[in-house]
């Protein structure tokens, strides 16, 4: 059996097919070895059909390893390059010295946008997608909800401008049209978990369009689906979460927030409108300094705010009564994936016995599992760390120094023992109940 | 008259030292390391001993105490000044006791019996005049100065005992002691250093460039990523501004977070601190010193927002002794629970309050 598996491995290069072949060779154990030459033809036919069936089966169950965490594998890179060439999407090259612990991730520079290699006007990629990709890569649109909503609006535009070519079905052709767009967007910036879920939903809706449906009707239906998705999963969800969260805010509270989470800002603004008396401490961190945006929104509303950097956390925490954090995704093993620094805040809050509440919509729940912040993460432009203090810029020529590296992580994972409560649109659940919610959602769909 | 000249010269030097201290706190003057401050303080105290007018040990101690109070008032956060003053006071007491002929061990104050029975008997002990006291005290201060010169080297010599090859070491901000420590180890071993930049002053950048020039693999990480990368770190080595009497630290802000993260991952936290940083203060309220940082980070805000917002920028953090694994000083390695004993050997309890 093992010999047979090895032979199959040598034939196939790419790793995912490897896995499928390994499993596929199990149901057909000794047939090829004992077949007589006369029956070889039928044997092969049976084998191939079995392989095909198991291939389909495992497509559903065994998830392919996403490309953006296989940068250190030259075979995977070649495969990606070929795929992008086929789709006529430009390949973005990595920038700068990568810290060895993260050599499996991409690191791009903001100064080399992926649109440099595209001809204007773009022939393959829809212009609204090009614009969206540029907005992602330059950081103009940032934040999980903002990115998802922008993506869905861009897809609405794409659907509006779409016309079915002759002899093609809308349900199949449109999905194929969307694939190069998605590759382009993930070249601009790796897709977030919320965007992944949104794309899955759209693809499912498109493939469920019945074939006798007229094109106009189909397009209208798809646009309605997208609108209702945004409305249900994002807007109404944030209303529901605010309602739950406001129960947890009492008068005289000192609430700590980190960075700029649209959901947490919404909750605080709602609570302020409902006449709760509290003050907010906004914690910020270099190099993104997103807390400034949160501070601006809260101060505009009239909420009393204090502003500190994350290194002053132990100084300010004795005053704090609650910590509200936003999330980028909630993983199936209960870990919270969020902006880098969130786990630090949860850790220090736990040390000072301050309750930590995470607010997250259910559409951000994701079936991945992860235990540390290394395996799957995003590396931002390392030049962001360069700063001038007292007229001196120490890291100016960091590229010329051989042994110096800059690390600009975007996400980190918080273990569930630091989080006391997760507030979702389905209610207030502990961190470990995420797989239950996922199962319920899957059953619903 | 030569006596008056000497006196004016002395007071001039003291005044210039005080103004240096005041300026270095506000960031406008040259930011010198604490070793330099300690050496200059000790040199100044030696000059005072040599040039001031005193007839017995009690007078000298009064003079030094007075000057010491002025110096610590000029810049309370620079504790090395006060520590050196207390060391010199202890030296004077020792030399006096030696001149008197009484053994030092009899004066140990830990004995409860002594505490109950001695009372105020030590008050008038310093009024006797000894001819060679001045020379002895100056010689002892010279020894102290030699010790101070060698502290960084003594600490770096222990580096190879604590760093093995292919380690990942994390540090925060900029400490000259840790820099020398790591550079010494890098001569023989290959390891990787992660430096947390320590916003908003970002002194970690300077540390990283200096280390990478010695061919040490260095990575600069933002403060927010400390916990994220801590799982891959083998040791955390930090410097500190002050070591408190209970074994805790007053260190640059962000150190408490680093210590908590290290504790969570059971990573050893090693503090490289020379003995002159040991201070008899015990409790430390976290709200000790704040610096105005409006111009460094908030300059992108409109004035409308700045007027409604409180911004805080503490300079130091208190780290409790439970989070610290080891202290490496010029006299060797110690556990935090032993610091109180070292302190009682360095300073006399009556000098704790200058």
What pLDDT was estimated at residue A28? Answer: 41
Q: Are A387 and B205 an interchain contact pair (Cβ–Cβ within 8 Å)? A: yes
Contacting residues of B for A296, CB less than 8 Å apart: 301, 305
Task: Give CA–CA dist B286/A207, Å, rounded.
Answer: 61
pLDDT bin (cut points 50, 70, 90) of residue A88 is confident
Q: What are the sequence ranges of the domains in chain A?
A: 126-236, 249-373+409-444
Contacts of B27 (CB under 8 A, 6+ apart): B291
Give yes or no: residues B233 and B260 share one domain.
yes
Q: Are A344 and B311 an interchain contact pair (Cβ–Cβ within 8 Å)? A: no
**DSSP 8-class letter at B314:** B
R_g (Cα) of chain B, nearest Å: 22
Give yes or no: residues B137 and B186 share one domain.
no
Give yes or no: residues B194 and B225 share one domain.
yes
Nearest to A399 by CA among B152, B317, B109, B209: B209
The answer to whether B115 faces chain A, any CB pair under 8 Å, is no
Give yes or no: residues B217 and B243 share one domain.
yes
Contacting residues of B for A99, CB less than 8 Å apart: 219
Contacting residues of B for A309, CB less than 8 Å apart: 199-200, 223, 297, 313
A170 neighbors A164 (Cβ within 8 angstroms): yes
What pLDDT was estimated at residue A17? Answer: 45
The answer to whether B199 faces chain A, any CB pair under 8 Å, is yes
**% chain A with pLDDT above 70:** 87
Average pLDDT over residues B12-18: 85
Strands B269-272 and B316-319, sheet pairing: unpaired
The answer to whether B201 faces chain A, any CB pair under 8 Å, is yes
* B354 inside domain: no
Residue to test with chain B: of A299, A310, A311, A389, most B Cβ within 10 A: A311
Residue to test with chain B: of A315, A337, A413, most B Cβ within 10 A: A315
* B174 inside domain: yes
The fold of the A249-373+409-444 domain, in CATH, is Rossmann fold (3.40.50)
Give yes or no: residues B225 and B146 share one domain.
no
Contacting residues of A for B226, CB less than 8 Å apart: 344
Contacting residues of A for B194, CB less than 8 Å apart: 407
A320 neighbors A354 (Cβ within 8 angstroms): yes
Give yes or no: residues B147 and B27 share one domain.
yes
Task: Give CA–CA dist A428/B230, Å, rounded.
Answer: 30
Q: Tell whether the model's pLDDT for residue B280 goes beyond 50.
A: yes
Distances (CA, A) of A130 to A121, A209, A380, B36: 10, 27, 20, 58
- C-alpha torsion B99→B102→B104→B108, nearest 10: -130
* B311 inside domain: yes
User: Of A168 and A128, which is predicted with more confidence?
Assistant: A128
In this predicted structure, which of A208-212, A313-317, B303-307 has the lowest mean pLDDT?
Answer: B303-307
Task: Give CA–CA dist B171/A314, Å, rounded.
Answer: 18
Distance from CA of B110 to the nearest CA of A (A): 35
Give yes or no: residues B255 and B280 share one domain.
yes
The answer to whether B66 faces chain A, any CB pair under 8 Å, is no
Average pLDDT over residues A229-238: 93
The answer to whether B264 faces chain A, any CB pair under 8 Å, is yes
List the single residue in B205, B228, B308 with the smallest CB-CB distance to A395. B205
Q: Are B208 and A395 an interchain contact pair (Cβ–Cβ within 8 Å)? A: yes
Task: Give CA–CA dist B296/A309, Å, rounded.
Answer: 12
Contacting residues of A for B229, CB less than 8 Å apart: 101, 373-374, 407, 409
User: Could you say which residues from 207 to 236 on chain B have a Cβ atom under 8 Å away from some Cβ of chain A?
Assistant: 208-209, 212-213, 215-229, 231-232
Overall domain count for chain B: 2
Of how many residues is chain A composed?
A: 445
**% chain A with pLDDT above 90:** 44
User: Could you say which residues from 179 to 218 on chain A have a Cβ atom under 8 Å away from some Cβ of chain B?
Assistant: none
What pLDDT was estimated at residue B291? Answer: 52
* B353 inside domain: no
Q: Are A318 and B286 an interchain contact pair (Cβ–Cβ within 8 Å)? A: yes
Q: Is the complex ipTM higher than 0.90?
A: no
What pLDDT was estimated at residue A105? Answer: 86
Q: Tell whether the model's pLDDT for residue B116 goes beyond 80.
A: no
Contacting residues of B for A418, CB less than 8 Å apart: none
Give yes or no: residues B143 and B74 share one domain.
yes
Task: Give CA–CA dist A82/A68, Å, rounded.
Answer: 15
Residue to test with chain B: of A272, A286, A309, most B Cβ within 10 A: A309
Distance from CA of B239 to the nearest CA of A (A): 16
Give yes or no: residues B86 and B184 share one domain.
no
Q: Tell whether the model's pLDDT for residue A413 goes beyond 50.
A: yes
Give yes or no: residues B228 and B318 share one domain.
yes
List the single residue in B216, B218, B253 with the smallest CB-CB distance to A315. B253
Residue to test with chain A: of B203, B213, B220, most A Cβ within 10 A: B220
Give tens-digit pLDDT for A59-76.
555 556 777 788 888 888
User: Of A372 and A12, which is predicted with more confidence?
Assistant: A372
Q: How many CB atoms lie within 10 A of CB A12?
A: 14
User: Of A252 and B14, which is predicted with more confidence?
Assistant: A252
Domain termination site, one of B84, B117, B151: B151
Average pLDDT over residues A220-242: 93
Q: Are A285 and B227 an interchain contact pair (Cβ–Cβ within 8 Å)? A: no
What pLDDT was estimated at residue B21? Answer: 81
Give tens-digit pLDDT for B171-212.
999 999 999 999 999 999 999 999 998 888 888 999 999 999
Contacting residues of A for B217, CB less than 8 Å apart: 403, 405
What pLDDT was estimated at residue A13? Answer: 38
Distances (CA, A) of A413 to A334, A406, B197, B198: 10, 20, 21, 22
Give yes or no: residues B283 and B260 share one domain.
yes
What pLDDT was estimated at residue A420? Answer: 94
Q: How many CB atoms lie within 10 A of CB B114?
A: 12
Q: Tell whether the model's pLDDT for residue B12 goes beyond 80.
A: yes
Give the structural domain span for B323: 162-346
The CATH number linked to B191 is 3.40.50.10470
* B279 inside domain: yes
The CATH number linked to B90 is 1.20.120.420
Q: Are A314 and B286 an interchain contact pair (Cβ–Cβ within 8 Å)? A: yes
Contacting residues of A for B313, CB less than 8 Å apart: 308-309, 312
Q: Tell whether the model's pLDDT for residue B299 goes beyond 80.
A: no
pLDDT bin (cut points 50, 70, 90) of residue A396 is confident
Q: Are B311 and A407 an interchain contact pair (Cβ–Cβ within 8 Å)? A: no
**% chain B with pLDDT above 90:** 43
Give yes or no: residues B211 and B185 share one domain.
yes
Give tens-digit pLDDT for B20-43.
888 765 544 445 678 888 998 999
What pLDDT was estimated at residue B324? Answer: 96
Domain termination site, one of B116, B151, B186: B151
The fold of the A126-236 domain, in CATH, is 1.20.120
Contacting residues of A for B287, CB less than 8 Å apart: 315
Q: Tell whether the model's pLDDT for residue A14 goes beyond 90.
A: no
Return mean pLDDT, chain B: 83
Ramachandran quadrant class, A96 (left: phi over 0; alpha: psi -120 to 50; beta: rest): left
What pLDDT was estimated at residue A11? Answer: 44
Q: Tell whether the model's pLDDT for residue A25 goes beyond 50.
A: no
What pLDDT was estimated at residue A409? Answer: 92
Contacts of A372 (CB under 8 A, 6+ apart): A413, B231
* B226 inside domain: yes
């Amino acid at each position: 059996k093992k010999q047979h598996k090895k032979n199959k491995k040598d034939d196939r290069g790419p790793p995912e097919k490897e896995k499928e072949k390994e499993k596929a060779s199990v149901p057909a154990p000794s047939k090829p070895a004992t077949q007589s030459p006369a029956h070889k033809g039928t044997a092969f036919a049976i084998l191939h059909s079995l392989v095909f069936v198991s291939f389909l089966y495992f497509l559903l169950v065994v998830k392919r390893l996403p490309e953006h965490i296989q940068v250190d594998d030259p075979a995977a890179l070649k495969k990606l390059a070929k795929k992008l060439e086929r789709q006529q999407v430009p390949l973005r090259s990595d920038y700068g010295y990568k810290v060895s612990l993260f050599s499996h991730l991409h690191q791009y520079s903001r100064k080399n946008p992926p649109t440099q290699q595209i001809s204007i006007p773009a022939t393959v990629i829809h212009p609204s997608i090009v614009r969206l990709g540029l907005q992602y890569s330059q950081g103009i649109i940032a934040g999980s909800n903002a990115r998802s909503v922008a993506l869905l609006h861009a897809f609405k535009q794409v659907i509006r401008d779409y016309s079915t070519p002759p002899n093609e079905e809308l349900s199949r052709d449109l999905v194929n049209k969307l694939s190069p767009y998605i590759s382009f967007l993930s070249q601009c910036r790796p897709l977030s978990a919320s965007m992944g879920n949104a794309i899955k939903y759209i693809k499912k809706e498109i493939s469920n369009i019945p074939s006798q449906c007229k094109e106009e009707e189909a397009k209208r239906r798809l646009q309605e689906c997208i609108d209702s998705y945004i409305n249900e999963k994002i807007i109404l969800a944030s209303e529901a979460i605010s309602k739950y969260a406001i129960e947890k805010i009492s008068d005289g509270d000192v609430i700590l927030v980190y960075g700029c989470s649209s959901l947490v800002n919404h909750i605080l603004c709602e609570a302020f409108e409902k006449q709760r008396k509290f003050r907010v401490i906004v914690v910020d961190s270099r190099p993104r300094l997103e807390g400034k945006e949160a501070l601006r929104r809260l101060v505009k509303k009239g909420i009393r705010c204090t502003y500190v950097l994350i290194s002053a956390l132990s100084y300010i925490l004795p005053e704090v009564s609650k910590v509200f954090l936003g999330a980028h995704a909630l993983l199936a093993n209960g870990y919270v994936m969020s902006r880098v620094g969130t786990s630090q805040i949860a850790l220090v809050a736990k040390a000072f016995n301050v309750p930590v509440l995470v607010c997250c919509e259910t559409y951000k729940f994701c079936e991945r599992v992860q235990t540390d912040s290394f395996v799957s993460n995003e590396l931002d432009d390392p030049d962001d760390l360069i700063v001038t203090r007292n007229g001196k810029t120490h890291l100016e020529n960091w590229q010329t120094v051989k042994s110096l590296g800059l690390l600009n992580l975007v996400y980190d994972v918080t273990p569930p023992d630091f989080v006391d409560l997760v507030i979702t649109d389905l209610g207030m659940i502990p961190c470990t109940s995420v797989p239950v919610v996922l199962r319920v959602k899957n059953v619903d769909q | 008259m030569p006596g008056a000249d000497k006196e004016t010269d002395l007071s001039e030097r003291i005044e210039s030292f005080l103004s240096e201290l005041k300026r270095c706190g506000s960031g406008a003057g040259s930011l010198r390391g604490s070793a330099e401050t300690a050496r200059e303080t000790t040199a100044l105290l030696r000059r005072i001993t040599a040039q001031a007018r005193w007839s017995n040990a009690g007078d000298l101690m009064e003079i030094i105490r007075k000057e010491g109070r002025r110096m610590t008032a000029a810049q309370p956060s620079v504790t090395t000044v006060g520590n050196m003053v207390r060391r010199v006071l202890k030296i004077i007491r020792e030399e006096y006791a030696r001149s008197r002929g009484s053994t030092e061990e009899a004066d140990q104050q830990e004995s409860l019996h002594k505490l109950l029975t001695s009372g105020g008997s030590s008050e008038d002990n310093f009024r006797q005049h000894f001819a060679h006291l001045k020379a002895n005290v100056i010689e002892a201060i010279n020894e102290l100065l030699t010790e101070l010169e060698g502290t960084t080297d003594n600490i770096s010599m222990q580096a190879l005992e604590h760093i093995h090859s292919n380690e990942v070491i994390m540090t925060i901000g900029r400490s000259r002691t840790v820099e020398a420590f790591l550079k010494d180890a890098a001569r023989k071993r290959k390891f990787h250093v992660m430096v947390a930049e320590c916003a908003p002053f970002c002194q970690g950048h300077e540390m990283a460039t200096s280390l990478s020039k010695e061919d040490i693999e260095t990575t600069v990480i933002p403060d927010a990523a400390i916990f994220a990368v801590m799982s891959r770190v083998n040791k955390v080595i930090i410097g500190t501004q002050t070591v408190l009497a209970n074994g805790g630290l007053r260190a640059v802000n962000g150190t408490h977070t680093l210590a908590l993260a290290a504790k969570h991952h059971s990573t050893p936290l090693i503090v490289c601190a020379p003995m002159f940083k040991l201070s008899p203060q015990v409790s430390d309220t976290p709200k000790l010193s704040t610096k105005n940082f409006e111009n460094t980070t908030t300059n992108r805000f409109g004035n409308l927002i700045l007027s409604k917002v409180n911004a805080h920028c503490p300079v130091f953090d208190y780290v409790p002794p439970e989070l610290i694994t080891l202290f490496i000083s010029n006299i060797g390695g110690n556990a935090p629970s032993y610091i109180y004993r070292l302190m009682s050997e360095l300073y006399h309890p009556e000098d704790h309050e200058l």
